[in-house]
């Protein structure tokens, strides 16, 4: 039933927007192709990692250009993710992002099958090329990945000792932090390599989003956990910026960290009443919520963060607006 409601809602949104978009001259960009994780996911598991029924920023971008904002594949049962279970074909949209995705490896303690859901950003790109061969000149490509690489060992199912220590406010040793930095730097290298390959395969409009400070998210509750993840985000972003193609006419790197910091610093002007470390979802450690499970009836609009390490409906809309503003002001337009 949720699946039918999801598709019906998007059909209404898409048809409404498309009719108005076609009434005026379309911009040079006519399609959006998205790669990434839960922050871009269009509904691989029939929900979005936000305050549902809200959309992710990547879906808002697709609608802006008159495109149906569907995921490429799906998995009927979210409980079967992270176990090596392969996805099912359809709906066939151009949003390849999947909640839980890492840059270039499986997110699982049970299986390293590269086709197991969620597939990595590297596999997402492989799927696109298998289906479409190359990018078209009128496609805007977004790449937003790395959050799960940075937070991977904070997951008790992946690294129980480190995760427990951080939750008990015990900072990791210098040796552990060195190893963790090397791990996320390798993920940043993989992200930069994916960006280079996207351009190599014909993309003329690529937007790469760096990571915002995950230490501000509700999931990281202790000072030790916040300092840990903030340091890893900085290491990831430094390495990513060093490796992304320097081609202003084709590649735009967005300072997502500055965007989120601005929302926190000027919360009231954006309509937020709740900022860092506050969760719009009423229960902790949930990956999504609906109006009946939100902290307050208006939480989707008045909170910045939701579902542990995600953005609310309102924050996603603002991020989409930010991306469009930056694209229109750049040589990519």
- Residue closest to 293 by CA, chosen among 284, 302, 301: 284
**If you average pLDDT over every residue of the chain, what do you get?**
92
Q: Which two tokens stand for residue 323?
A: 């991306």
Please tell me the distance from the alpha carbon of residue 52 to that of residue 315, in angstroms, as a whole number. Answer: 13
Average pLDDT over residues 164-172: 98
Contact (Cβ atoms closer than 8 angstroms) between residue 95 and residue 72: yes
Answer whether residue 331 shows pLDDT above 50.
yes
Q: How far is CA 168 from CA 153, 178, 231, 319, 320, in A?
A: 15, 21, 18, 33, 36
Q: Does residue 15 or residue 173 have the better pLDDT?
A: 173
What are the start-end ranges of the H helices in 154-201?
A: 160-167, 174-200
Alpha-carbon dihedral 49, 255, 260, 96, rounded to 10 degrees: -10
- Residue closest to 195 by CA, chosen among 140, 251, 234: 251
Predicted local confidence at residue 326, as pLDDT: 96
Report pLDDT digits (tens) over 207-230: 999 999 999 999 999 999 999 999
Q: What CATH number has the domain spanning 2-19+31-328?
A: 3.40.50.1110
**pLDDT-derived band of residue 5, with 50, 70 and 90 as boundaries?**
very low
Q: Which two tokens stand for residue 28?
A: 């040079």
Element (H, E) at 73: strand 73-74
Report pLDDT digits (tens) over 283-314: 988 999 999 999 999 999 999 999 999 999 99
Please tell me the distance from the alpha carbon of residue 248 to that of residue 188, in angstroms, as a whole number. Answer: 20
Element (H, E) at 277: strand 274-279
Predicted local confidence at residue 11, as pLDDT: 41
Please tell me the distance from the alpha carbon of residue 147 to that of residue 163, in angstroms, as a whole number. Answer: 16
Predicted local confidence at residue 20, as pLDDT: 32
- Residue closest to 228 by CA, chosen among 176, 280, 189: 176
If one counts every other C-beta atom within 10 angstroms of the C-beta of residue 55, the result is: 23
Answer whether residue 74 shows pLDDT above 70.
yes
Contact (Cβ atoms closer than 8 angstroms) between residue 245 and residue 239: no
Predicted local confidence at residue 52, as pLDDT: 98
- Residue closest to 225 by CA, chosen among 282, 168, 270: 168
Q: Average the pLDDT over each of 48-52, 146-150, 284-288, 324-328 and give the range with the smallest value.
A: 284-288
Q: How far is CA 125 from CA 128, 129, 138, 191, in A?
A: 5, 6, 18, 11
Burial of 53 by CB count in 10 Å (0-12 exposed, 13-18 middle, 19+ buried)? Answer: middle
Domain boundaries, given as residue ranges, for the chain: 2-19+31-328
Predicted local confidence at residue 160, as pLDDT: 97
Q: DSSP 3-state assignment of 134? A: coil
pTM, 2 dp: 0.92
């Amino acid at each position: 039933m949720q699946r039918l409601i999801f598709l019906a809602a998007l059909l209404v949104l898409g048809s409404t927007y498309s009719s108005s978009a076609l009434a005026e001259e379309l911009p040079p960009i006519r399609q959006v192709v998205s790669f990434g994780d839960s922050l871009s996911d269009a509904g691989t598991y029939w929900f979005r990692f936000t305050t549902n029924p809200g959309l992710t920023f990547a879906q808002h971008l697709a609608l802006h250009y008159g495109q149906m904002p569907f995921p490429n594949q799906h998995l009927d049962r979210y409980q079967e993710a992270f176990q090596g279970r392969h996805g099912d074909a359809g709906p066939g949209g151009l949003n390849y992002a999947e909640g839980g995705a890492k840059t270039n490896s499986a997110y699982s303690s049970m299986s390293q099958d590269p086709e197991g859901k969620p597939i990595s950003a590297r596999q997402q790109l492989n799927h696109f090329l298998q289906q479409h061969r190359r990018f078209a000149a009128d496609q805007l490509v977004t790449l937003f990945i790395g959050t799960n690489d940075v937070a991977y060992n904070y997951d008790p199912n992946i690294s129980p000792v480190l995760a427990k220590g951080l939750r008990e406010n015990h900072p990791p040793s210098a040796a552990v932090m060195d190893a963790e930095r090397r791990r996320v730097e390798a993920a940043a290298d993989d992200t930069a390599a994916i960006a280079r390959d996207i351009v190599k395969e014909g993309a003329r409009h690529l937007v790469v989003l760096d990571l915002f400070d995950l230490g501000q998210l509700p999931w990281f509750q202790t000072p030790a956990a916040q300092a840990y993840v903030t340091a890893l985000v900085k290491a990831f972003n430094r390495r990513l910026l060093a490796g992304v193609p320097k081609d202003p006419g084709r590649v735009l790197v967005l300072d997502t960290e500055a965007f989120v910091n601005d929302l926190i610093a000027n919360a009231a002007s954006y309509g937020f009443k709740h900022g860092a470390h506050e969760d719009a979802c009423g229960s902790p450690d949930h990956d999504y919520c609906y109006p009946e499970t939100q902290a307050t009836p208006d939480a989707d609009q008045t909170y910045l963060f939701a579902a542990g390490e995600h953005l609310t409906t309102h924050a996603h809309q603002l991020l989409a607006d930010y991306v469009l503003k930056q694209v229109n002001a750049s040589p990519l337009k």
